[in-house]
Structure 1
Amino acid sequence: MLFRVALATGLALFITQIKLDFFESYLYDMRVRLTPVPTTSGNIQIIEVTPETVEYFKGIPKAEHHKKLMEWLIPLAPRAIVYDINFDEILGSEKNKKEFARVMESFHQLFVLTNFLEMRGEEGKLKLSEPYEKIKLFSGPKSSDTANFAKDGVTRRMMINYQDQVMLHPFLASQINTEIVDKFKIKGLFDFLETDQVYIRFRPTGTYAKIPFHEAYKGLISTQAFKDKIVLIGHNLELSEKDYLMTPYSRSSIAMTTTEMHANMFDTLILNNAISKAPQFVNTLITILISIVTVYIVFALSPAMGLFIIILLFISYLLISYFLFWPFGIWISMAHPLLAIFLCYYFFIPYRLIIENRRSWEYYQKNKLLRQVEELKTNFISMMSHDLKTPIARIKGMTDVIINDGFTVSPIQREALDTIRSSSDDLLKFINSILNYAKIESQGVELHLQSKDPNNLLTDVIRKHEFLAKVKKISIETEFEPLFPIKIDPELMKQVFSNLIENAIKYSPEETIIKVISKEIDGMVVVRISDSGLGIPAQELPNLFMKFYRSANAKSSPIKGSGLGLYLAKYFTELHGGRIFVESVYGQGTDFVVELPQN
């Protein structure tokens, strides 16, 4: 057992070293899609340059259009204005650009986002070109999984800081949610390559309401829509893939605009509901535990039950992972544990088959040896029984000659002769039982069917046992219902009835009654032999027809027996397609019932 646990642990540790970021991220995306859509904070408003805007302005909005928008928007008291547009792409005359820059400078909470980062020691070098050099350029990069993590190009993460320089998103979000001023209180925070990051709590595309640039430009929007909001301004023209990204909800290259991505990033921090990924050691422990459980199932249960439990374990882990993800926001690894279930099952099943095959071969060899020993034993018993049968028959014959031919013998001699004859009869019956048993073991018993009336067989058997019954003053009463002849082997069935009637006489007290009843019930000939003996304890009834079995009362009595009589009776009866059973209440006697088919 310890070896298997060690092997499962080793395999689990090996599995955790396999890079499964792509598969793990795919499973993460599935959980994101299957969970209810997170609510928004209500602190974000998006203004988009759309194809309709281009149609309205006969081109992409220029500096003078942005200037007029700012002159209308700034007095509405937004919390912050964030541009997600490359200012080098905003056309216009130098005069218009300077006027646009002057208007923006008048609002201290206006920022322009960039994907570029400032390294430590290069602070202040990241600036916009003239005439926008005084506008605050703030880092807030799009972090796609291209070179690291899943390497599938999907955006899942956001930076909180880089080399201790705060990004724009936590800077503005902390003005609304002051708790996250301390970065260590940001849920799901983890470090990666000199950065602190969290996973974005994405919402499906279209969750945030978007105002077309030209409608805001014309002042057609309610002034309350921007009050105390973070206003994001960006493009949605489907002209450049750099304005879009793939999300956990969609692998389309234009699944979501970067502007809406920033809205999701801000809300993740404002609501402080980022997904918390469990540490690597937790993933390792879970994988080890899953591996050990899988190995135990493989070796402890049958293949069918084991497969059922493995599937149940698989489904259970999926459900646990899902319910930790939602509503608790905890991300535990799924790729490594699920791979552990698969590999442990398919690795250890062949190992189990090898072990079981080796055991089967050992059992086969032992069984082969036992069959040879059994065959030798059966042959020996058969030969010895045949060799004993002849001298016993001679002894019995000579005894009968002395008794029946009028030889003068004293009473003591006659008693001795009777004892010799009785013992010879008992020994001959025992030898016949052994011979029949040997035939059964060698499958040498054949039926010689004849049409016989069962009542006639019973009458013959009773007649042969009348003397034994008279010795004990036992009366044998018969109730025979007229029966049609049936196909039976008369010699074998005589042995069955003889054994049952003889046992009834042997184990019944003196001056009692034995009843032998025959009748036809539902196409079966039923023979019931009832005695008034001590009965058989209930716990011994299931073993009564086993070979060489004798009940505790029989063993303690002076009555001799081989323990084969009832075994042979059951075998011969079932050979005819019938059955034999016993009904007994301890202290009230015993009924043996033989049922034989009429056809």
Structure 2
Amino acid sequence: MLQRVQKASFQHLKLRLEVLLRFFSRRRGFWLRCLLCWGIGCLALSNDEINAYDQRFHLRGDQKASSQIVLVTIRQSDFATIYDTRTNFLDNMSEVTDITDSYFWNKRIWSELLIRILRQNPKAVGVTLYFGDNIGKVALTQEEQKLFYDMRVFWSATTNNLDRVLNPAFTSRDLNNIGSNEVRRDEDGVVRRVFPQRAELPHLVEKITGKKFPTTQAGLPINFRGSNKVFTQYSFSEIMYDEVPFDAFTNKIILIGAETSSGPVYITPMGTISRTEILAHTTDTVLGNKWIQRLSNSWYAAGFFVLMLIAVFLITTYPQSVALFFILWIGTLLAALSAWVFDTFYFWSPAFSPFVLLGASWIIFIGYQASKVERKNFRLQQEQQYLQELEQLKNNFVSLISHDLKTPIAKIQAIVDRLLVEHQSKDESLSQDLQSLRLFGDELNRYIQSILKVLRVESRDFKINTEVGDINEVVEEALQQLRPLAREKHITINTSLEPMFSLEFDTTLIKEVVINLVENAIKYTPHGGSIEVISQEEDDLVHVIVKDTGEGIKPEDMEKVWGKFTRGSDQDMKTKGTGLGLYLVKYFIELHGGKVKMESVVGTGTTVSFTLPLDTESESEVLA
């Protein structure tokens, strides 16, 4: 039983995987483009982390540094007066990391400097210069030993080319007063990070702050607070001449360094600064716990995947202009958010690579959308061509059938007319049947003629033939043709035709319009009713109005009656018709640049009117 359940579960899982694979297979082009965009964003991340990281500091500018850090700068000119009296030194030049440090050694001057600084009870004093084998053996008195081995003073140690530790001359027995002053450059020569040192030689910053670096193998990004002069600084001369405040060093961390044109300088994201200032920035970062934090690349890659999906959704869902606006807005928002998080919470997030990802998504998927539209247009063109051929086939068929029906109908009508003449006086019932047959033939002939008219006007090569004519004359010709039909129903046709100038129009089509309107009025007007036909000129338009006293049209049918093969909802059983008359009326009038209008009240009657423009130039523009 358990094996059956496990087998069924396995089969169900296999089926779902097959469905999923088929789904991705059908849209592999879409997903491959998504992976390409995502890959471009991830590749841009490596470059973003280096270049954009430096740009963040430039954009941020100088920040407020810790007031607990004070720099003491010894200039080369401070030692120029005593340099000539110094003895030869540098006994072991091969092991010296920075030979210029020894230039600033003088026991008497350093004793005086440390006395003046320690007198104000600082928290710690860090000497960033290396004084070891490069200054030779130094003989110290008991008072000097207390001064140079003071527990608040920490001396810099360094390493040689063989990675051997070079301790300073004033190293205590327990090695508690020394620390490494190493400043390590990245591969491009820029100092961005500080690296934890070996256990037996902590970093000088760790010694003067009493705090350990967070352990990491990749190095800790230094949160540079600005370029030069962001920390409180005093020169050697100001201290010797008592030109500093009495509490300038009280409970402060003092970093003593040198300023010399021959000494090394370091390139940082904030520009070129000295080793002492780099250590000061590192000290500020440790004191305020301002380490630059970042996530692992896998988290950024996951975020890029989500961002890519959002961009693709916008591009494939909304119009190009709307999608571009949202993409630019998202990119700008991410850049602003990244800068704010970096300045406020010291958290680094990429800003340039998201723009690269969004730009790649835009370029790739705009092309994808364009190809989709092109394929759809191609299919539409094929379908349109097929529909045109089908429409032409239908028109040809209807035209052929209608044309072939006209001949037998004409023959039937001729035979009926002959029989009516022969049997009119012999058999009254037969004569009535023949008259009915004649009427049915006329009705069928009108249906066929109406279909042929629709096919003709809807053909592509149909054009109106305009000529100068009198609209009233056309109306009279149409009424003359329809008066016999009106007399059969005892309907009176009244006219009120206002004299007007001639205008350009297709006389055949407009006559067909008037015939259709008046014929409809006769058809739907009861026996003994009346019809009024009016023509008048108003502004730049000619108005022709046909009023009847028929049953009227329901409001819900007012718009439908203009359609092809459409009639009023209650007329199918009362009167016969094709539903093409008003369709042709509207079509012919709009070809002339005019308009049709209908007003009707149920039980009272209907008024149908059309207008034609007098301005032939405006008419030509409409037709074009």
- Band of TM-score, shorter chain: 0.7 to 0.9
Question: What RMSD over aligned residues (CA atoms) do the two structures have, in Å?
Answer: 4.0
Deviation at 1:58, TM superposition (A): 7.7
Deviation string, structure 1 residues 399-428 (Cα, Å, up to 9, x no partner):
566668994365544543443343333333
Q: Does 1:419 align with 2:462?
A: no
In structure 2, distance between residues paired with 1:514 and 1:90:
127
Q: Which residue of 2 aligns with 1:87?
A: 131
Residues 132 and 169, structure 2, Cα contact 8 Å, conserved in 1: no
SS of alignment partner, residue 71 of structure 2: strand
Q: Does 1:217 align with 2:234?
A: no
Q: Which residue of 2 aligns with 1:382?
A: 399
Instruction: Show structure 1 runs of 5+ residues with no match.
Output: 147-151, 176-180, 184-188
Deviation string, structure 1 residues 268-293 (Cα, Å, up to 9, x no partner):
22222333213333212211111212
In structure 1, distance between residues paired with 2:79 and 2:427:
143
Q: TM-score, normalised by structure 2?
A: 0.78
In structure 2, distance between residues paired with 1:511 and 1:285:
86
Say if 1:418 and 1:157 are closer, same or farther in 2 by CA, change over 3 A: farther
Out of 18, 21, 28, the position equivalent to 2:53 is 28
Deviation string, structure 1 residues 24-64 (Cα, Å, up to 9, x no partner):
33223333333475432311111123466567878964423
Residues 159 and 198, structure 1, Cα contact 8 Å, conserved in 2: no
Q: Which residue of 2 aligns with 1:440?
A: 457
Deviation at 1:471, TM superposition (A): 5.1
In structure 2, distance between residues paired with 1:279 and 1:490:
83
Q: Which residue of 1 aligns with 2:190?
A: 154
Q: Does 1:348 align with 2:365?
A: yes
In structure 2, distance between residues paired with 1:21 and 1:351:
27
In structure 1, distance between residues paired with 2:223 and 2:195:
10
Q: Does 1:139 align with 2:207?
A: no
Residues 9 and 291, structure 1, Cα contact 8 Å, conserved in 2: yes
In structure 2, distance between residues paired with 1:72 and 1:495:
118
Say if 1:388 and 1:71 are closer, same or farther in 2 by CA, change over 3 A: same
Residues 221 and 291, structure 2, Cα contact 8 Å, conserved in 1: yes
Residues 236 and 243, structure 1, Cα contact 8 Å, conserved in 2: no
SS of alignment partner, residue 223 of structure 1: coil
Alignment size in residue pairs = 568
Deviation at 1:88, TM superposition (A): 6.0
Residues 538 and 585, structure 1, Cα contact 8 Å, conserved in 2: no
Q: Which residue of 2 aligns with 1:226?
A: 249
Say if 1:446 and 1:95 are closer, same or farther in 2 by CA, change over 3 A: closer
Out of 297, 304, 314, the position equivalent to 2:314 is 297
In structure 2, distance between residues paired with 1:410 and 1:540:
47
Q: Which residue of 2 aligns with 1:360?
A: 377
Instruction: Show structure 2 runs of 5+ residues with no match.
Output: 1-22, 85-102, 617-624
Q: Does 1:65 align with 2:82?
A: no
Letter in 2 for 1:157: R
**1:188-587 mapped onto 2 (5 Å cutoff):** 191-193=216-218, 197-240=220-263, 242-247=264-269, 249-250=270-271, 254=272, 256-396=273-413, 399=416, 407-408=424-425, 412-470=429-487, 475-507=492-524, 514-531=531-548, 533-538=551-556, 541=559, 545-546=562-563, 548-551=564-567, 553=569, 556-582=572-598
In structure 1, distance between residues paired with 2:600 and 2:151:
104
Deviation string, structure 1 residues 561-586 (Cα, Å, up to 9, x no partner):
43433333333223223333555678
Deviation at 1:75, TM superposition (A): 1.0
In structure 2, distance between residues paired with 1:519 and 1:401:
46
In structure 1, distance between residues paired with 2:578 and 2:232:
97
In structure 2, distance between residues paired with 1:544 and 1:51:
105
Q: Which residue of 2 aligns with 1:126?
A: 165
Residues 524 and 597, structure 1, Cα contact 8 Å, conserved in 2: yes
Q: Does 1:102 align with 2:145?
A: yes
In structure 2, distance between residues paired with 1:30 and 1:172:
30
SS of alignment partner, residue 553 of structure 1: coil
Letter in 1 for 2:475: L
Deviation at 1:71, TM superposition (A): 1.9
Say if 1:129 and 1:167 are closer, same or farther in 2 by CA, change over 3 A: closer
Letter in 2 for 1:42: S
Say if 1:267 and 1:516 are closer, same or farther in 2 by CA, change over 3 A: farther
Residues 451 and 486, structure 1, Cα contact 8 Å, conserved in 2: yes
Deviation string, structure 1 residues 335-386 (Cα, Å, up to 9, x no partner):
5433332333333333444444333333323322222222222222222222
**1:49-60 mapped onto 2 (5 Å cutoff):** 49-50=74-75, 53=78
Say if 1:164 and 1:113 are closer, same or farther in 2 by CA, change over 3 A: closer
Q: Which residue of 2 aligns with 1:40?
A: 65
Say if 1:399 and 1:118 are closer, same or farther in 2 by CA, change over 3 A: same
SS of alignment partner, residue 47 of structure 1: strand
Residues 491 and 527, structure 2, Cα contact 8 Å, conserved in 1: yes
In structure 1, distance between residues paired with 2:489 and 2:461:
38
In structure 2, distance between residues paired with 1:7 and 1:100:
77
Letter in 1 for 2:233: K
Q: Which residue of 1 aligns with 2:119?
A: 75
Deviation at 1:15, TM superposition (A): 4.3
In structure 2, distance between residues paired with 1:585 and 1:218:
112
Letter in 2 for 1:416: D
Letter in 2 for 1:385: S
SS of alignment partner, residue 327 of structure 1: helix
Residues 516 and 529, structure 1, Cα contact 8 Å, conserved in 2: yes
Letter in 1 for 2:553: G
